[in-house]
Amino acid sequence: MAAIKTVGVIGSGQMGNGIAHVAALAGFNVVLYDVSADRVKSAMATINGNLTRQVAKKTITEDAHRQAIARISSADNFDGFAGCDLVIETAVEKEDVKRKIFHDLCAVLRPDAIIASNTSSISITRLAASTDRPEKFIGIHFMNPVPVMELVELIRGIATDDATFDAAREFVTAMGKQIAVSEDFPAFIVNRILLPMINEAIYTLYEGVGNVEAIDAAMKLGAHHPMGPLELADFIGLDTCLSIMQVLHEGLADSKYRPCPLLVKYVEAGWLGRKSQRGFYDYRGDKPVPTR
């Protein structure tokens, strides 16, 4: 299999623009696509701002900043991925949405191109089966925020071949990331452990054991976590947290993974955390204020 040189990224949100950022900085050509041209423009502004901060901190040079930006181009549609060696999907954590993307993507890709999903919980084997190349499909799960977090989970589906795995490992290593190889079980390693903890924190709030501030302070000061679990849930996005808990609950059929009703209620209200300005904290003022 030829070395990966050009990488496509589907979705320009938090994860997509982060992946584009680190890939371009590592010397890969990047093609970025989203359903809205405005979202891609916003993503480019975010990438530029984050690179500028890295220059200010002297972690990269101004020349590296300029070269990284020059390596990123945008695509108007999936035809823009025709020359890519690898395409990474970072769409919303809904299986039907991802399947539709892969169906449309396969029609334009070269036969030897690799497809990857940044899914944080959905079966790689099942997603691969919706493509015309399950042996060239792999899970490459980056952590958020991508430019800061050192870890990437690599997940093989049942059909993923060795050449695809080796190419993905080389790609991830070239970006300076550390790899954890996970079996294809619901939510893989990080979220299998992290999300039930967050869900339990929400149950602790729901049952009145402590308020938002007490729960977050307890875990920051008592367990030395850099962020409290409710603050972290807002950062991840409560809709994403709910989707992962639903995958765990349905995939493992164990009641301990039942999403907390309060999490469901917040998502139904559209209080999704930082991205919607309200979640377990209200972010509309000068400083975040607990909503319970």
Measured in whole angstroms, the distance separating CA 183 from the mean position of its chain's CA atoms is 18
- In the annotation, is 268 catalytic? no
Q: Alpha helices, DSSP H only, in the chain?
A: 14-25, 37-56, 62-71, 95-106, 124-128, 162-174, 190-206, 212-222, 229-236, 238-252, 261-268
Q: Please report the pLDDT score of residue 26 as a whole number.
A: 97
Q: Please report the pLDDT score of residue 2 as a whole number.
A: 63
Q: Please report the pLDDT score of residue 18 as a whole number.
A: 97
Kindly state the average pLDDT of the residues 119-129: 96
Q: For the domain made up of 191-290, give the CATH fold.
A: N-(1-d-carboxylethyl)-l-norvaline Dehydrogenase; domain 2 (1.10.1040)
Q: Please report the pLDDT score of residue 44 as a whole number.
A: 97
Q: Please report the pLDDT score of residue 46 as a whole number.
A: 97
Query: Has residue 200 got a pLDDT over 90?
Result: yes
- In the annotation, is 77 catalytic? no
Of the candidates 283, 6, 30, which has an alpha carbon nearest to the alpha carbon of residue 146?
A: 30
Q: Please give the Cα distance from 244 to 265 (Å, whole number).
A: 16
Distances (CA, A) of 132 to 104, 107, 115, 122, 136: 11, 9, 10, 19, 9
Of the candidates 58, 164, 177, 173, which has an alpha carbon nearest to the alpha carbon of residue 113?
A: 164
Among the listed residues 153, 182, 199, 243, the single catalytic one is: 153
CATH for 6-182 (3.40.50.970, 3.30.200.20, 3.40.1190.20, 3.40.50.720): 3.40.50.720
pLDDT > 70 in the chain, percent = 99
Is-contact 115 105, C-beta < 8 A?
yes
Is 228 in a helix, a strand, or coil? coil
Q: Please report the pLDDT score of residue 103 as a whole number.
A: 95
List the structure tokens of 161.
Answer: 């071949």
The answer for residues whose C-beta is within 8 angstroms of residue 188's C-beta and 6 or more apart is 120, 121, 139, 141, 153, 155, 182
The answer for residues whose C-beta is within 8 angstroms of residue 194's C-beta and 6 or more apart is none
Q: Please report the pLDDT score of residue 233 as a whole number.
A: 98
Q: What is the pLDDT of residues 41-83, one digit of tens each?
A: 999 999 999 999 999 999 999 999 999 999 999 999 999 999 9
Q: Please report the pLDDT score of residue 1 as a whole number.
A: 55
- In the annotation, is 50 catalytic? no
Q: Please give the Cα distance from 289 to 292 (Å, whole number).
A: 9
What are the residue ranges spanned by the domains of the chain? 6-182, 191-290
pLDDT band for 260, please (50, 70, 90 cuts): very high
Among the listed residues 12, 29, 89, 141, the single catalytic one is: 141
List the structure tokens of 248.
Answer: 């765990």
Among the listed residues 12, 17, 120, 243, the single catalytic one is: 120
- In the annotation, is 153 catalytic? yes
Is 266 in a helix, a strand, or coil? helix
Mean pLDDT score of the chain: 96
For 218-245, give one letter per residue: b (16+ CB within 10 A) or e: bbeeeeeeeebbbbbbbbbbbbbbbbbb
Kindly state the average pLDDT of the residues 129-145: 97
